[in-house]
Amino acid sequence: MFMNSIPNVVIRNMTASIVTILPAYIVAVVVPNAFITILGFAGMILVIIAILLPVYLLYKAKINKFYYPELQKQYLIICKTLHGLLKKL
């Protein structure tokens, strides 16, 4: 809503860039180890989004006929989920 009130596209894009990047930059400069800690937290979120969420959605879809027959084998899905989780650790 605030960004639509700025008529100049260049100023609007520059403002959006500064508002996005500047707080993270200030935190990284002021607190040296905060960036590494936040990256670790982002990695945990990635595990949920990239590994567990697709498996959960596949389980909840209740599709009888898959295009790939490998998706009908539950042991393969469980094995690959465990592999993805253990690889992340």
Q: Is 61 part of a structural domain of the chain?
A: yes
Q: Is 66 part of a structural domain of the chain?
A: yes
Question: Is the distance from CB of 35 to CB of 28 less than 8 angstroms?
Answer: yes
Q: Is 2 part of a structural domain of the chain?
A: no
Q: What are the CA-CA distances from residue 50 to residues 19, 31, 53, 80 (Å)?
A: 28, 29, 6, 12
Residue 47, judged by CB atoms within 10 A of its CB (0-12, 13-18, 19+), counts as middle
Q: Is 16 part of a structural domain of the chain?
A: no
Has residue 1 got a pLDDT over 60?
no
How high is the pLDDT of residue 88? 63
How high is the pLDDT of residue 65? 84
- Percent of the chain beyond pLDDT 70? 93
Quick: pLDDT tens for 45-88. 888 888 888 888 888 887 888 888 888 888 888 888 888 888 76
Q: Is 18 part of a structural domain of the chain?
A: no
Task: Please give the residue range of the domain that contains residue 85.
Answer: 44-89
How high is the pLDDT of residue 18? 94
Q: Is 77 part of a structural domain of the chain?
A: yes
Q: Report the number of distinct structural domains present in the chain.
A: 1
Q: Is 80 part of a structural domain of the chain?
A: yes
Alpha carbon dihedral 78, 82, 84, 87, in 10-degree steps, equals: -160
* Coil, helix or strand at residue 23: helix
Query: What is the pTM assigned to this prediction?
Result: 0.52
Q: Is 69 part of a structural domain of the chain?
A: yes
